[in-house]
């Protein structure tokens, strides 16, 4: 028999990263998390979702930052300070919250392709997600616009046509619904949310480092 261990290294700890592309604080989180996870030896699973249905179940028909103006004014100011500290550009998008269903479906096409290959980060999914956030909040582009998404795909060397077609497939539409439902079942109520293999939930850009450390410690 082959010796155990030498050829089967321990699996890296996995952290699920749930996010909604319209979420402001998810911008610094998703932009930052790749290098931090690599340094920590934590494998990420990017899981785009739609917060709309989750907010609707709470009785909200838009972002709480719009429903509660003082909280919204604070959020934009706080986000500006957070981005300044990180050296990230910040430009308010033209529509807030953006309509992100198409962006999320496109992301699932890219992330799913990687998953189908059995290699998490082999595809363009994660790079697309980071680029969508940079476009939305770094450059203030409206990521509801299919042309903007096509630009992003092209910038990643991906042919936009087939991807946008795949994003409209019944399978991808169902996948996004299922993912959003699973997030709600896991008690996720905001973005970004981080969930360890053991089910520990962390919410917010402020908890990114703690979530990685927890995933690593409890793997």
Q: In the numeric block, which tokens belong to residue 186? A: 């896991």
204 burial type by CB count under 10 A (0-12 exposed, 13-18 middle, 19+ buried): middle
Closest CA to 60 of 173, 207, 177, 190: 190
Beta bridge partners of 18: 47, 193
Are 96 and 67 in contact by the 8 Å Cβ rule? The answer is no
Catalytic residue among 6, 23, 26, 155: 23
Cβ distance to a second copy smaller for residue 65 or 128: 65
- The reply to whether 77 sits near a second copy by the rule CB under 8 A is yes
Which sign does the torsion angle of CA 86, 88, 92, 96 carry?
negative
Q: Is 155 a catalytic residue?
A: no
x-or-dash pattern for a second copy, window 78-117, by CB under 8 A? x--x------------------------------------
Q: CB 70 → a second copy: shortest distance, Å?
A: 4
Task: Choose one: 25-33, 88-96, 109-117, 199-207; the region binding a second copy (CB under 8 A).
Answer: 199-207
Cβ distance to a second copy smaller for residue 124 or 202: 202
- The reply to whether 206 sits near a second copy by the rule CB under 8 A is yes
Which residues are part of the catalytic machinery? 23
């Amino acid at each position: 028999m082959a010796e155990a261990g030498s050829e089967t290294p321990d699996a890296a700890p996995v952290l699920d990263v749930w996010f909604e592309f319209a979420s402001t604080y998810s911008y610094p989180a998703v932009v930052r998390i790749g290098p931090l996870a690599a340094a920590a030896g934590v494998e990420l699973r990017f899981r785009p979702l739609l917060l709309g249905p989750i907010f609707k179940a709470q009785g909200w028909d838009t972002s709480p930052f719009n429903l509660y103006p003082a909280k919204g004014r604070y959020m934009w100011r706080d986000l500006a300070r957070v981005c300044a500290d990180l050296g990230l550009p910040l430009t308010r998008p033209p529509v807030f919250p953006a309509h992100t269903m198409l962006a999320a479906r496109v992301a699932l096409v890219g992330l799913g392709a990687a998953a189908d290959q059995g290699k998490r980060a082999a595809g363009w999914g994660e790079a697309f997600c980071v680029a969508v956030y940079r476009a939305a909040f770094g450059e203030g582009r409206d990521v509801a616009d299919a042309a903007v998404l096509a630009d992003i795909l092209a910038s990643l060397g991906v042919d936009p046509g087939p991807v946008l077609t795949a994003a409209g497939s019944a399978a991808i539409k169902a996948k996004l619904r299922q993912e959003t439902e699973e997030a709600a079942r896991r008690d996720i109520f905001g973005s970004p949310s981080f969930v360890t293999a053991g089910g520990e939930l962390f919410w917010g850009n402020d908890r990114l480092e703690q979530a990685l450390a927890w995933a690593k410690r409890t793997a």
